[in-house]
Amino acid sequence: MIRNKIFFIFLLFIIRPGFSQQKDYSWPLPDNWVEEFITFPLKFAPEINYHGIEEIHFMPGWRGNDSLAEQRWSYTFSWYLDTLIYFNEERLRKDLTIYFDGLQKWVQKNSLGYIPMNVPPEIRIKRAGKNESLKFSGTAEILDIFYTNKPIKLNIKISLLMDPQAGKTLVLFELSPKPFSHPVWKQLDQHISEFKIKI
């Protein structure tokens, strides 16, 4: 039961289920997935000094549906930023470290009866290949603050798109504890490919 209370508190104070700002992109939500929006600067990680929108899409089994247990902690999110930012492995690693560390501390601070644990995130990022300047992969060893309160290791894929004319930067994240060979990644990859910037 505690995981449901923690998740509710997170949604109540950080995430907006609706978003009134006009979006200049489309990202269709698959059936039974859940979407949430957060505006930058993020309440739980204000040190990430960007401006734009974070949009999060959770797979149906993310919250722990036992019939979809293979989807737990499998989700995608996008950063659609209002400036050109030149991301590399180190910048992504630093940003994700701040992101997950801030998320962990914020949820623990705002969860009554929750025993805080200090588990600093361990983020590893590398380019997907020698000729892949805009694709990355890696891992995030973080605290599972929503379910077990124990460390969990997530695999990560990251894709970048920059639009110099519009002065925009898009960062697409895919995360799951499942290995990249697992079928869940086909669904995540397909969903990421459906992000379209309106012209």
Torsion sign across C-alpha atoms 143, 189, 192, 136: positive
* DSSP-assigned beta bridge partners for residue 176: 155
pLDDT at 25 over 90: yes
Report helix, strand or coil for 36: strand
Please report the pLDDT score of residue 21 as a whole number. 56
- DSSP state letter for 145: T
More confident residue, 48 or 146: 48
The domains of the chain, with CATH numbers, are 2-13+31-197 (3.40.1000)
Q: Letter for the amino acid at 191? A: H
φ, ψ for residue 129 (rounded to 5)? -170, 170
The whole-number pLDDT of residue 35 equals 95
Question: pLDDT per residue over 136-188, tens digit each?
Answer: 999 999 999 888 888 999 999 999 999 888 899 999 999 999 999 999 999 99
At residue 165, the pLDDT reads 87
Three-state SS for 5-60 is HHHHHHHHHCCECCCCCCCCEECCCCCCCEEEEEECCECCECCCCCCEEEEEEECC
Choice between 127 and 67, residue whose per-residue pLDDT is larger? 127
pLDDT of 110 higher than 90? no
Rg (CA), the chain: 16
Question: What digits encode the pLDDT tens for the residues 59-94?
Answer: 999 876 777 889 999 999 999 999 999 999 999 999
**Predicted local confidence at residue 173, as pLDDT:** 98
pLDDT in tens, 7-24: 544 554 455 544 545 678
